[in-house]
Structure formats: C-alpha cells, structure tokens
Structure 1
C-alpha cells in the first residue's frame, strides 16, 4: 500500500508542478512499473535457498512497482480518457484482467512439473517478458486525451425534492435537542 500512496502523490505533484503532459506522466509511471517488475521478478530465479530473504524482498519490490503502475499509470488513465464511462471501462477491463489470474497457475503448474530452478527461471522470464511487452505497448499506444466517443454535452442533473413542513419542523427539533446536550 505504500507504493500506491507514494506513486499517487508523486504523479499528482508532477502534474501540478511541471508542464509535463498527463500522457507522459502515465507512460513514465507505467513503463517504470513494468520495467521494475521485470527486473525484480528475474532475480529470484538466480537465488538459492540461502537467500530466501532476498527472494522475499524482490517479490515485495515487484508489488511496490505494480502499485506505481496502477496508481500513476493505467487506472487514472481510464478516468483521463473517459471520465463519464470510467466505471464501465474499469469493470470490463478488470473482468478481462482476471483471465491471466486463472490461466497463470495452470501454465506454471505445467512448466514446473519437477520444480527445478531452470523451470522456475523460465516462469520468471515469461513473466518479465509479458511485463516488458506491456510497457512497450503502453509506451507506444497510451494516450490521456479525452476520447471523442466519451465527449458529450453535459446534462445538468436536476432533481426535485419535496419536503413537507412537518418533516422540517421535526428535523429542526432534533437538531436543537442535539445542540442542547
């Protein structure tokens, strides 16, 4: 959670204190995130059991780098490109993002049948490759400009509220009683 807080504050500070475009900020945060994940996921494949705390540290750093990408990169980018539809887009993308979480354990089980270091190294290399591929794709195609299809006339929200005098008097009496205590 520390990565989320730090990345969010940093991204907002850069956005308000510099003339760097929002698209550039999103790209830098996500590319840094994916690159950090790729680096720190590869290290455990070369560590032995004597370095178990090093493995734990690397996996924790992967989580911190993931938070950087989430908070400064793709999640706020959804709001940037389509604020009116961000909840729908996030729901669909998050649903699709669960597929790797279902497929990955099956694939890892097939790759690591005997559990050797070489098999696990292959898993880590595949993971690093996917992370770097995502960084390249995002770096090329990401944009934070409001999408044309997300633009529309702003409909003012109008709401009619009917309050009876009886309810107003009861509410005021309750407030007055609370204040006197």
Structure 2
C-alpha cells in the first residue's frame, strides 16, 4: 500500500509533461490537486471495504499527484528569469519536503486524539481549499497578472525572450535517447528518488525499530529530517543562483558541485548512521543530515534538464521523473521485502543499497554531465519523431 501511489505517478509523468506545453497549466495543476485531494477524503471509506480498494484509491491519487508534480514545474519557464531559476524552482519544490515534515509532525497528535481517519479528512479538505486558491491566484503569464508592476513584467519577459517551449515543435525522440547528459540526469534522478523515498517512508519504522517509541513521539522525531531538508533545499537554490549571478563558478561546475553534495553527503551520513551512532542523539543527528543534505540536488540534477533543453522542459522533466520515481517505487518495494524476510540485519542491507546507488550514479554524472543547450534542443534544429 505504501508503494501503490508511485504506480499512478509513473503513469502520468510523460503524458503530463508533454501536455503541459499544449494545455492550460492553471487548469491542469488546479484540477489535479483537487481530484487528488478528493480521493484522499475517500480513503477511510475505502478502507472499510478492504485493502484492494485503498490501493486503487492511492493509485488514482498518484495519477493526479503526478500531473501536478510535473506541470507545476513548467510554470517557471514563463516566470523565472535565468539568474533566478534555481532559487524559484527549489523554493517551489521544497514544498515536497515541507509537506512530509508537517504531516509527520501533526499526524501522531491527530491519530492519538481524533483517530486515524481524521488525518485523511483534514489533509483532503486542505488540498481542496488549496486548489480553489490556485484557481483564484495563479496566472499563466506575467503580463496577465494584475498585482505586479509594469517594470517587473518587462524584466521577466525580456529576460525570458530567448527561451521557448516545445508546444510548437515535434519531439526529437531519437536524439534525446542518444543524449548522454540526459541519461546521467535520469540515472541520478533514480538514485535521488530512491534515497528520498526510502528516508521519507521508512524513517518512522527505523526510529521505532531502534528506540520503540510511541506514535506521537515518532511523528515528531520523523518530521525533523524533512524540516532540515526543506531548509537545505531553499539554501541550495539561493547559493546556486548567487554563484551563477556573481560568476564565481561556471554553470556546469555549479551543477556538478550541488549534485556531488546532494548524492555523496547522504551516502556518507548513512554510513555514519550505521557504524558511528551508538546513542539516540547520534542516530537522530546522522538521520537528519542524511535526509537534509540530499536537498543540495535542487541546485544540480533536479534543474539540469532546463539547462540542456529548455524548449522541451515539460516533456523531459516528465521523462526523468518517470525514471526517478521508478527508483522510489523499487526502493519502497525492496525495503518492504527485506524488512519482512530478513530478521538479522535488514537495515544494514537497505542502507548499503542506497549508498551504492548514490555513488555509482554520481560517478557517471561527473563524467558525462553538460549544462549547455544540446544541439537537438536548439531552436534552429530540424526536429523529427
């Protein structure tokens, strides 16, 4: 049941990425958010009829969440000037980290005082309200927004004058499939989502297996890694744009540096968690650092597609998300299998698999990564299917 939501997300990624260049982002994101929230409200009712219906609800949830996940990132093609792209993108994506922090922080209290169904009713209702705010407050294009100044509109549109989307051109599929930079981004996405999904889903179980604490305390402790991950994500976006705007480092060096930090540091802190944490406080410190430092990828692989192919960003973001989320699905499934079958040292095997994924992916990225627009993504390129 924990992994079932990934199936829906996987199905929707590439179609959502492609359609985001054709249809209204306002309608796509708002509708997806509302429908995902609606199925959240239905889960307690589905649970009364058995686990099969819960799994179906979660798959459908994932379908709509996948649409929102991909299409909301395409917003920045029209809204983020080049020197602010990472800062704004990481700020919006950091919500993926802040969300679990809030959920884990208060879910234990809700379950303890109101019962577990209220968790789904409360968050489902919040999602519905948020979708209404989206329809009211979001505008597709800066020039249509009534609350920003004329000078700000001119600054955004002039800064993005050379950036185009894929809506008016066919996709160079063969060239994309032969592109090493795209594949190493995808490989690193696989590793990043593997680590992120494992740490998000199984942190409460890991804490409970080591310290046997109640659900209220576990929720509070499990939220701390996500809180620091959110802070690090915002920090990574800001640092990346500062390095670029002040010409401290080249764009490629920035992408490699933040990917190095985002994949290597979680691997190192995971090893520390296994071998150097003999106390409760030591375990929590290394667990927080392993989770939080992965957010440095916000300034690396998670924005790198926009560097190499801005005009196909929506489609390629969906493509790399599919590979990345496959890592999350595999991580969730494999971790569950190992925990259910290995009574000896399951956590040792699980953490070593995560470390190996991160290190191997990082090596390929440092060799093959690029940060300039590829020939097949340039406006003058004759594209083909």
Q: Which TM bucket (shorter chain)?
A: 0.7 to 0.9
TM (norm. structure 2) is: 0.37
Moved more, 142-151 or 50-59: 50-59
Which residue in 1 is equivalent to 2:275?
46
Contact 1:111 1:119 in 2 (8 A): yes
Contact 1:46 1:121 in 2 (8 A): no
Distance 1:125 1:63 in 2: 15
Q: Deviations for 1:41-75, whole angstroms, at most 9, x for unmatched residues? A: 12222366x62332232222122211111x21012
Which residue in 2 is equivalent to 1:119?
346
Which residue in 1 is equivalent to 2:311?
84
Which residue in 2 is equivalent to 1:152?
379
May I ask how many residue pairs the two structures share in their alignment? 151
Deviation at 1:147, TM superposition (A): 0.8
Q: Kindly indicate whether residue 307 of structure 2 is the aligned counterpart of residue 68 of structure 1.
A: no
Contact 1:31 1:136 in 2 (8 A): no
Q: Kindly indicate whether residue 287 of structure 2 is the aligned counterpart of residue 59 of structure 1.
A: yes
Once superposed, what is the RMSD of the aligned Cα atoms? 2.0
Contact 1:33 1:65 in 2 (8 A): yes
Moved over 6 A (4+): none
Match of 1:96 among 317, 323, 336: 323
Match of 2:362 among 135, 147, 168: 135
Q: Secondary structure at the match of 1:143?
A: coil
Deviation at 1:19, TM superposition (A): 4.7
Q: Deviations for 1:12-49, whole angstroms, at most 9, x for unmatched residues? A: 1111223521011100110121110111112222366x
Deviation at 1:76, TM superposition (A): 1.9
Q: Secondary structure at the match of 2:373?
A: coil
Which of 1 and 2 has greater Rg? 1
TM (norm. structure 1) is: 0.75
Match of 2:251 among 19, 22, 39: 22
Higher RCO (CA-CA < 8 Å; seq separation 6+): 1
Q: Kindly indicate whether residue 238 of structure 2 is the aligned counterpart of residue 9 of structure 1.
A: yes
In the alignment, structure 1 segments of 5+ residues that lack a partner are 154-181
Contact 1:30 1:135 in 2 (8 A): yes
Moved more, 84-93 or 107-116: 107-116
Which residue in 2 is equivalent to 1:179?
none
In the alignment, structure 2 segments of 5+ residues that lack a partner are 1-229, 381-385
Q: Deviations for 1:97-145, whole angstroms, at most 9, x for unmatched residues? A: 11122222332233342443x3311221111111111111110111001
